[in-house]
């Protein structure tokens, strides 16, 4: 299970989406095991479309 320091939460529009590397992101076809820091710079929140810069680490 991913540690909180490895999970990131969207801080825009009360979206609340949490990127969890244990799950990846189906919408962008990001497989399990990809760290948030390894996501491409043009990756967007699958819920609200916010950029990576709108995310903050949970831990």
pLDDT of 47: 94
pLDDT of 27: 94
Query: 29 lies in which domain range?
Result: 1-59
User: pLDDT exceeding 90 applies to what percent of the chain?
Assistant: 69
CA dihedral 21, 26, 27, 30 (to 10 degrees): 50
Query: How many domains, the chain?
Result: 1
User: For residues 36 and 1, what is the distance between their CA atoms, to the nearest angstrom?
Assistant: 15
Backbone angles phi, psi at 55, to 5 degrees: -100, 145
8 Å CB contact between 25 and 38: no
8: left (phi over 0), alpha (psi -120 to 50) or beta: beta
Which CATH number belongs to the domain containing residue 10 in this structure? 2.20.28.10
Residues of the chain with pLDDT under 50: none
Enter the pTM of the model.
0.83
């Amino acid at each position: 299970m991913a540690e909180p320091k490895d999970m990131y939460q969207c801080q825009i529009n009360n979206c609340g989406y949490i990127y969890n590397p244990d799950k990846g992101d189906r919408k962008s076809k990001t497989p399990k095991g990809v760290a948030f820091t390894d996501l491409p710079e043009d990756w967007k929140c699958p819920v609200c479309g916010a950029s990576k810069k709108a995310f903050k680490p949970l831990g």
